[in-house]
């Protein structure tokens, strides 16, 4: 998608992809077997290629992405099965990247292969946020004789006839525990806290979630966005009104997900919308499996491995043949020259608008300004970045102003989106889009009338067609 936008903006583009087929986590081997899309109809699509995907499988999702790449000439620019191992500034005077970049690559998985070096004017890092696994370093690993995996490594047949323990409380953890309930001898889910999960349908199962949570009115109930330029009168609703409405939404979510049927300890303890950034769509069958005893759900931290499985902070032991850590990913870029700093001391990503590192020329990131409808966020980020490279944004602050804007945004995220790591804008789909549209000098109002603008789903790509800037003379670029 970033390559498509850059091609249409006049750049010559080369795409390095370590997978054999396009799609990132949706590619074969990109994530755990059985991964499914949690987007309802018209949410997982690019502005220029509508589709009918509705809670699609990984195969269907990958086919759509491949069709998009083929339709817009990206496949011709693709080097599949090629891993980027180093990106460093071309030596010369001036700031990092001002003279371009050297990119070192080799065939994926072949560390003995000779690397190839090439020079590019621009680099776009679009390597994804779900590849470098995070697994807790627990004592006693040598005691456990079974299989230990990260969720990314789960393949077909992993659970068959075995006792499975899944550690984690996010969407992937619930997905895998539900799968284990069908395939394994026993399934145990261990989570430190119970996260909110969004039901496919709200209002007691009558209305799809996008009609409630992904409208301007729905986003107006969130804490006020950090950028004053994106705050509309409706966003200034009184806090008492917001709390009352969120109380009602929370009760409805408990009912519509079926969590009201489970013990209180297996329901979220924190009020909405504080932890909505961590919410995924509730996997089908999870609540039913817990109620039937097919999943043993425990709320506890994990302390250590044992010979039998895991010891929990409660003092219990969870017996297992297979332990799966669905514990997230590190947002890191091991190929990037260490002189290019994109993290702070707390490992939060420090990018202006979540896209460019201050003080570094001709380098951008797409996919690290995460929103719930992330495919739309990626497309708008790519349009913003193309204009940034072209010098066509309405305004471009200097390095100091960029740093100040990042500081302000991170402080806001810590308050309203704790644990977001500096990259996750959570449920602020429309506000996030407004901010980029303002920077590009484009109208943020995307509907023909006020009722549609505020009450129909606005966090969808089809509202953002025709954003490509005028073409310019070609310049070499790269998307990795």
Model confidence at 469: pLDDT above 90: no
C-alpha distances in Å from residue 100, one per residue of 11, 118, 334, 362, 479: 14, 11, 19, 7, 14
pLDDT score for 477: 65
pLDDT score for 470: 67
Model confidence at 332: pLDDT above 70: yes
pTM (2 d.p.):
0.94
C-alpha distances in Å from residue 477, one per residue of 20, 84, 88, 100: 21, 14, 14, 10
Which of 269, 296, 329 terminates a domain? The answer is 329
Band (pLDDT 50/70/90 cuts) for residue 375 is very high
Residue 337 sits in the same domain as residue 352: yes
DSSP sequence for 297-340: EEE--EEEE-SSEEEETTS-EEE-SEEEE---EE---TTB-TTS
Q: Tell me the mean pLDDT in the region 11-33.
A: 92
Structure tokens at 389: 């490279």
Band (pLDDT 50/70/90 cuts) for residue 471 is low
Smallest CA-to-CA distance from 223 within 428, 432, 424, 444 is with 428
Band (pLDDT 50/70/90 cuts) for residue 6 is very high
Which of 329, 359, 391 terminates a domain? The answer is 329
Residue 171 sits in the same domain as residue 303: yes
Residue 16 sits in the same domain as residue 116: yes
Residue 256 sits in the same domain as residue 286: yes
Residues of the chain with pLDDT > 70: what percent?
97
Model confidence at 326: pLDDT above 70: yes
Residue 93 sits in the same domain as residue 158: no
Q: Tell me the mean pLDDT in the region 362-367.
A: 96
Residue 297 sits in the same domain as residue 414: no
Domain count, the chain: 2
Rounded CA gap, 59 and 135, in Å?
Answer: 27
pLDDT score for 92: 61
Cβ pair 263, 153 in contact under 8 A: no
Residue 139 sits in the same domain as residue 247: yes
Residue 265 sits in the same domain as residue 408: no
Residue 176 sits in the same domain as residue 297: yes
Band (pLDDT 50/70/90 cuts) for residue 480 is low
Model confidence at 476: pLDDT above 90: no
DSSP 225: P
Residue 252 sits in the same domain as residue 270: yes
Q: Tell me the mean pLDDT in the region 73-96.
A: 88
23-55 confidence digits (pLDDT tens): 999 998 888 988 889 999 999 999 999 999 999
pLDDT score for 473: 54
108-142 confidence digits (pLDDT tens): 989 889 999 999 999 999 998 888 999 999 999 99
Q: Tell me the mean pLDDT in the region 316-322.
A: 97
329: left (phi over 0), alpha (psi -120 to 50) or beta: beta
380-429 confidence digits (pLDDT tens): 999 999 999 999 999 999 999 999 999 999 999 999 988 888 999 999 99
- 204 class by beta-carbon count within 10 Å (0-12 exposed, 13-18 middle, 19+ buried): exposed
Model confidence at 94: pLDDT above 60: no
Range 265-300 burial, b when 16+ CB lie within 10 A, else e: ebbbeeebbbbbbbbbbbbebbbebbeeebbebbbb
pLDDT score for 158: 96
Q: Tell me the mean pLDDT in the region 449-471.
A: 88
Cβ pair 323, 307 in contact under 8 A: no
CATH number at residue 342: 3.50.50.60
Residue 48 sits in the same domain as residue 63: yes
Which of 329, 360, 390 terminates a domain? The answer is 329
Residue 113 sits in the same domain as residue 137: no
Model confidence at 99: pLDDT above 90: no
Q: Tell me the mean pLDDT in the region 2-15.
A: 96
Question: How are beta strands 116-120 and 101-107 bridged, if at all?
Answer: antiparallel
Structural domain of 320? 133-329
pLDDT score for 93: 52
Structure tokens at 422: 């500096």
245-294 confidence digits (pLDDT tens): 999 999 999 999 999 999 999 999 888 987 787 789 999 999 999 999 99
Smallest CA-to-CA distance from 167 within 195, 188, 182 is with 188
Q: Tell me the mean pLDDT in the region 138-148.
A: 97
Work out the mean pLDDT of the chain and round it to a whole number. Answer: 93
The packing angle between helices 429-440 and 374-390, to 10°, is: 10
pLDDT score for 156: 93
Phi, psi for 274 (deg, rounded to 5): -55, -40
Rounded CA gap, 417 and 425, in Å?
Answer: 8
């Amino acid at each position: 998608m970033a390559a498509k936008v850059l091609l249409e903006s006049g750049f010559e583009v080369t795409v390095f992809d370590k997978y054999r087929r396009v799609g990132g986590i949706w590619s074969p081997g990109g994530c755990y077997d059985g991964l499914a899309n949690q987007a309802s109809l018209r949410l997982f699509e690019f502005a220029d290629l509508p589709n009918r995907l509705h809670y699609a499988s990984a195969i269907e999702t990958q086919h759509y992405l491949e069709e998009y790449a083929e339709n817009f000439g990206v496949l011709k620019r693709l080097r599949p099965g090629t891993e980027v191992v180093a990106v460093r500034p071309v030596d010369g005077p001036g700031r990092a990247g001002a003279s371009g970049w050297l990119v070192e690559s080799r065939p994926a998985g072949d560390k003995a292969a000779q690397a190839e070096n090439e020079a590019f004017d621009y680099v776009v890092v679009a390597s994804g946020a779900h590849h470098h696994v995070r697994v807790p370093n627990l004592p006693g690993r040598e005691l456990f004789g079974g299989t230990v995996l990260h969720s990314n490594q789960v393949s077909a047949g992993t659970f068959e006839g075995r006792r499975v323990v899944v550690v984690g409380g996010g969407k992937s953890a619930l997905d895998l525990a539900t799968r284990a309930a069908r395939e394994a001898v026993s399934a145990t889910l261990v989570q430190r806290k119970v996260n909110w999960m969004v039901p496919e349908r709200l209002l007691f199962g009558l209305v799809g979630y996008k009609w409630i949570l992904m409208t301007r009115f729905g986003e107006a109930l969130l804490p006020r966005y950090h950028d004053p330029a994106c705050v509309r009168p409706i966003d200034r609703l009184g806090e008492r009104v917001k709390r009352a409405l969120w109380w009602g939404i929370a009760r409805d979510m408990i009912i519509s997900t079926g969590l009201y049927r489970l013990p209180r300890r297996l329901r979220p303890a924190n009020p909405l919308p504080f932890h909505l950034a961590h919410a995924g769509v509730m996997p089908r069958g999870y609540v039913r499996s817990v109620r039937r005893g097919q999943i043993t759900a425990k709320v506890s931290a994990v302390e250590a491995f044992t010979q039998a499985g895991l010891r929990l902070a409660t003092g219990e032991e969870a017996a297992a043949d297979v332990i799966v850590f669905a514990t997230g990913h590190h947002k890191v870029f091991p190929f990037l020259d260490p002189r290019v700093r994109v993290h702070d001391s707390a490992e939060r990503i420090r990018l202006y608008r979540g896209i460019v590192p201050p003080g570094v020329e001709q380098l951008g990131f797409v996919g690290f300004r995460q929103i719930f409808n992330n495919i739309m966020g990626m497309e708008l980020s790519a349009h913003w970045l193309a204009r940034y490279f072209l010098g066509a944004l309405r305004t471009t602050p200097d390095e100091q102003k960029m740093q100040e804007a990042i500081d302000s945004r991170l402080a806001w995220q810590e308050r309203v989106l704790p644990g977001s790591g500096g990259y996750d804008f959570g449920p602020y789909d429309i506000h996030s889009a407004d901010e980029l549209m303002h920077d590009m000098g484009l109208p943020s109002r995307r509907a023909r009338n006020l009722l549609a603008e505020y009450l129909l789903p606005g966090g969808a790509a089809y509202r953002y067609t025709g954003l490509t800037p005028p073409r310019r003379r070609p310049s070499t670029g790269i998307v990795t």
